Amino acid sequence: MKKISFDFNNIDLENFIEYLSTFITEKRLERIKEVAAKRTRHFAVVLENIYQGHNASAVLRTCDCFGVQNIFVVENINNFSPNEEIALGAEKWLSINHFDDENAIEKCYAELRKNNYLIAATTPHGNSISINDIDVSKPLALVFGTEKEGLSHKAIKEADFTVQLPMYGFTESFNISVSAALFMQKIIDLSEKQSINRFINAEEQKKLIAQWILNTVSDPKGIMKNYLKNIND
């Protein structure tokens, strides 16, 4: 089912969620509320020109599992094509932002900075700091590159800093899906150790709850249209 994004401005979200709850089971609604309460936009993931569907899918699935809501996809060279069998529908629950023109990385970084993210390019090369020394007190976006070449020169140069995982073997890097999982596990652990509140606020939770319910029902546009008609009559 294709995800449709809705504008919830000027809508009483509590009333709207109550209306939407009639279209799903009470158990489903409680599960959606439970997951929304653990969502974070304090951390974000950027994927630059990932071309293997199973890797794209595995990263999305990992982001959902860790509660990382915001994904930024740069695809000015390679199309981002998740494999649904691997992603298991994870893309339905995530906010995925696409950048696909020749200035994609600049536009992506500009959007991140507009939302107060520090940008950390992940690379095992150069003078990268260790993930163990990273500052997670401020909003942080982790940038991951292609399967073979890694991040582009521009993605590294325009980032605020570079960061790496500890490596002890002959192979110089992890598979991207493994790398993303390890990085996310580490920054989540650090945020909990430092008692940083990484979770979205109550109003953002309501927007996600409404969006997620609409993502799971048939004819979401019709449901939205009927609701707006009823409150305007």
Report the pLDDT value the prediction gives residue 175, as an integer from 0 to 100.
86
**pLDDT tens per residue, range 29-71:** 999 999 999 999 999 999 998 877 788 888 999 999 999 999 9
How many Å apart are CA 94 and CA 68, to the nearest integer?
8
Single-letter amino acid, residue 174: F
Q: Which CATH number applies to 40-198?
A: 3.40.1280.10
How many Å apart are CA 40 and CA 58, to the nearest integer?
19
Tell me which of 50-54, 94-98, 133-137, 167-171 is least confident: 50-54
- pLDDT range class, residue 1, cuts 50, 70, 90: very low
Residue intervals of the chain classified under CATH 3.40.1280.10 are 40-198
Which of 87 and 103 is assigned the larger pLDDT? Answer: 103
CA neighbor of 35 nearest in space, from 198, 213, 220, 205: 205
Give mean pLDDT, residues 107-115. Answer: 97
Report the pLDDT value the prediction gives residue 2, as an integer from 0 to 100.
52
How many Å apart are CA 45 and CA 52, to the nearest integer?
17
pLDDT of 86 higher than 50? no
How many Å apart are CA 137 and CA 188, to the nearest integer?
11
- pLDDT range class, residue 83, cuts 50, 70, 90: low
Tell me which of 1-15, 57-71, 157-171 is least confident: 1-15
Report the pLDDT value the prediction gives residue 199, as an integer from 0 to 100.
98
How many Å apart are CA 167 and CA 33, to the nearest integer?
39
Single-letter amino acid, residue 98: H
Which of 167 and 60 is assigned the larger pLDDT? Answer: 60
What does pTM read for this prediction? 0.91
Tell me which of 74-88, 104-118, 150-164 is least confident: 74-88
Give mean pLDDT, residues 129-145. Answer: 95
